[in-house]
Copies of this chain bind each other. A is one copy, B any other.
Amino acid sequence: MKKVFDVLLARNEFKAEAFIKELDGKKPLFVCTIATTETAKIQGISAAGKYPEFTDYTPPADAELLLLGKCKCINGVPVTPDGIPTPALITMSALRLADIPVLVASGGLKVHPQIPFLDLGGNPGKDIRTGRAVDNVEEVIQRATLAGEHLAKTADYLVIGESIPGGTTTALGVLSAMGVNAVEKVSSSMPDNPHGLKTEAVKAGLAASGESFGTLSKNPIKAISCVGDPMMPAFAGLVMGAAAQVPVLMAGGTQMSAVLAVINALNSDVLCNVAIGTTRWVISDRSSDLRGIVAQIFDVPILAADLDFASSRFSGLQAYEKGVVKEGVGAGGAAIAAMAKVGGAVTKDMLLKEIERNYALLMGTK
């Protein structure tokens, strides 16, 4: 696969290359959109927290890590049940290495982070099996759009990431409601992707809301309201507000395809200014298919940070090569932005060194 800097051109190579070259030497603003949903507490759905109940703390803890270099609302950092640390560690390392400013935006949280955050008027999400997963969707989209319009004037481009445990299940929900076939195509933070559980939850949510596959293809707001999560309206609004003025890198894995479907239905014009930025782990994952989902929606390019932790001296980082975590908190997009900001002077090896340094500091290892 062709590379520019240590960034793989993973889809629509021509546009992908033009996009990454446009970012060369430019100054980004990184926005981390955080939210929570009860969907994450379905047993076996998410590894973004040691126990299901911990998933309420993962997004605020991730946000604290980005801004403070440590968490405040929990001890240590968010880990999977196997003790593998949050991808926010990658994001934080990349942003600090390239001196990229960060803003945290809340789509709706159970636990507030102990740092400054942009309140967009949303509430925590309910279990999608209720069929009434998110309220206030339209208002949050409007407020986030307004925020995106103003933030676009403060940077050459925006990189927008997310932290919401359970987010691939809600992504499958919205994609299904909108008629995009994503069954067994969404990614997972676990090495064994629990596709069955996700499909079951989405089926229950669609049934409870009286909808079925594709019935909401023209109504993304209702799709989110029924079977989505509160990260989505915040993220989609930010993109729509900003991408009318500057390039926007949507930083994430398969969750981005659900946001893409929402934007495509509301204001597809802005998508000519949008790319998805992810990690090599998502692109090379055989249990999911980001490109296959995107192909059904809109022809945006996909860039993937060519991160490789195989040679890491920490088993907790080597685990990323075995398909654990893969992406999240805009890790891939932040890595791409860090490399592009300095014209490639930040390499994947330098990034790994910085990530290892922070890993040692935060995990208390040597």
Q: Which residues of A contact B (CB under 8 A)?
A: 27, 29, 67-68, 99-103, 105-106, 112, 114-121, 139, 143-144, 146-147, 150-151, 153-155
Q: Specify which of A67, A112, A119 lies most central, judged by the most chain B CB atoms within 10 Å of its CB.
A: A119
Contacting pair B116 A146 (CB below 8 A): yes
Ordered by A's residue number, 18 sampled pairs between the chains whose C-beta atoms are within 8 Å are A29-B154, A67-B146, A99-B153, A100-B153, A101-B151, A101-B153, A101-B154, A112-B119, A114-B143, A115-B143, A115-B146, A116-B118, A116-B119, A116-B143, A116-B144, A116-B147, A118-B119, A151-B154
| CA gap between A155 and B154 in the complex, in Å | 6
B118 touches A117 (CB 8 A): yes
Q: Which residues from B are CB-within-8-Å of A151?
A: 101, 154
> Which label, helix, strand, loop or mixed, suits the secondary structure of the A interface?
mixed
Report A113 CB to chain B, min CB distance, Å. 9
Q: Which residues of B contact A144 (CB under 8 A)?
A: 116
Assembled-state Cα–Cα distance A154/B116 (Å) = 16
Nearest neighbor of A100 in chain B, beta-carbon distance: B153
The 10 closest A-B pairs by CB, nearest first: A154-B154, A101-B153, A116-B147, A101-B150, A119-B119, A116-B143, A116-B118, A116-B120, A101-B154, A118-B118
Contacts of A120 in B (CB 8 A): 116
Shortest C-beta distance, A192 to chain B (Å), equals 38
Which B residues lie within 8 Å of A105 (CB)? 116
Bound form: Cα–Cα A67–B99 in Å: 28
Q: A140's closest neighbor in chain B, by CB?
A: B116
Distance to closest chain B CB from A35 (angstroms): 14
Bound: A121/B64 CA distance, A: 13
Tell me the complex Cα distance, A116–B106, Å: 10
Residues of chain B lying within 8 A (CB to CB) of residue A112? 119, 121
User: Closest residue to A119 on the B side, CB-wise?
Assistant: B119
Nearest B residue to A154, CB-CB = B154
In the bound complex, CA of A27 to CA of B1 (Å): 40
List chain B residues, Cβ under 8 A from A102.
Answer: 150
Report the minimum CB–CB distance from A96 to chain B (whole Å).
12
CB-based contact B99/A146 at 8 Å: no
Q: Whole-angstrom distance between the alpha carbons of A99 and B153 in the complex?
A: 9
Contact A67 B116 (CB under 8 A): no
New contact pairs (15) apart from A27-B153, A116-B146, CB-CB < 8 Å: A100-B153, A101-B151, A101-B153, A105-B116, A112-B119, A112-B121, A114-B143, A115-B143, A115-B146, A116-B120, A116-B144, A116-B147, A118-B119, A154-B154, A154-B155
Q: How far is the CB of A332 from chain B (nearest CB, A)?
A: 21
In the complex, what distance in Å separates the CA atom of A147 from the CA atom of B66? 12
Residues from chain B with a CB closer than 8 A to the CB of A117 are 118-119
**A116 — which chain B residues lie within 8 A by C-beta?**
105, 118-121, 143-144, 146-147
